[in-house]
Amino acid sequence: MESYNRPRPTQRREKMNSNKKTARIVGVLFLVATAAFMIGDGVLQSVLNHPEFLSNLYPDRTKVIAGIFFELINSAAVVGIALLMFPILKQHNEAIALGYFGSRIIESALLIVSILSPLVLITLSEEYITAGAAGDSYFQTIGRAAIKGHYMAFEMAMLVLSLGSLIFCYLLYKSKLIPRFISVIGLIGYAALLASGCSAIFGYDIGMILYIPGAVFEIIFPIWLIVKGFNQTMKS
């Protein structure tokens, strides 16, 4: 009876091909998310960090909208990764699979919340320019609050990402779905990201240095998936 429950060679080949296809799509989505985030964040920061941001935001609204568009691509890619990875991770640990899935959905939601502030600032900038010197301090106060909200939502998203990705990399390490050295890079990278996020929330700006290990993982990991896929000794 036991032999009837074993997958046939054709079924195993089909499953292996399906897993390899999924791995490639996940790899592409990781690269898309990374590239879209870097472009979108770079464009937005060039406007939000300007000393006279209220005077420049509305004239530069096309740039702001372009940055928001790339941020939305990043958020959509994150959701895609969560959906595709869940059935694969579930084969090894359902609780961790659910945790990772939930963390990426929450991360995506927080990133979308973070880009609402630049949209509000476009309207605020238009009213500020129209009003001229009148109510300058009022507009400045609202503008600074909106930017602070933008950064706070982003840092919360990074905290959720780091926590979810730590358990993700732990499961990758334990299951040997990818070479363990890549999983170790991920564990180091997301631990550093967690430290960076906690520091930022408590008002300590360490800079982008702690983002580097995580960025290395998010380049090596997807390239490995695209070229090699997951370890084919996965549970059937």
Structural domain contains residue 235 = no
Whether residue 12 has pLDDT greater than 80: no
Residue 100: domain span: 9-227
Structural domain contains residue 111 = yes
Torsion of CA 206, 217, 43, 123, to 10 degrees: -80
* Per-residue model confidence (pLDDT) at position 52: 83
Whether residue 46 has pLDDT greater than 90: no
Whether residue 175 has pLDDT greater than 90: yes
pTM as predicted: 0.84
Express each pLDDT in 85-127 by its tens digit: 999 999 999 999 999 999 999 999 999 999 988 888 998 888 8
Structural domain contains residue 52 = yes
* Per-residue model confidence (pLDDT) at position 179: 94
Whether residue 41 has pLDDT greater than 60: yes
Q: Locate tokens 């790899």: which residue?
A: 27
53 vs 22: which has the higher pLDDT: 22
pLDDT band at 14 (very low <50, low <70, confident <90, very high): low
Structural domain contains residue 1 = no
Structural domain contains residue 234 = no
Structural domain contains residue 18 = yes
- Per-residue pLDDT, averaged over 49-56, amounts to 83
13 vs 145: which has the higher pLDDT: 145
Structural domain contains residue 233 = no
Residue 137 CB partners (closer than 8 Å, separation 6+): none
- Per-residue pLDDT, averaged over 49-70, amounts to 88
pLDDT band at 31 (very low <50, low <70, confident <90, very high): very high
Q: How far apart are CA 53 and CA 177, in angstroms?
A: 47
What is the average pLDDT value for the chain, to the nearest integer?
A: 86
Structural domain contains residue 143 = yes
Question: How many structural domains does the chain have?
Answer: 1
Whether residue 207 has pLDDT greater than 80: no
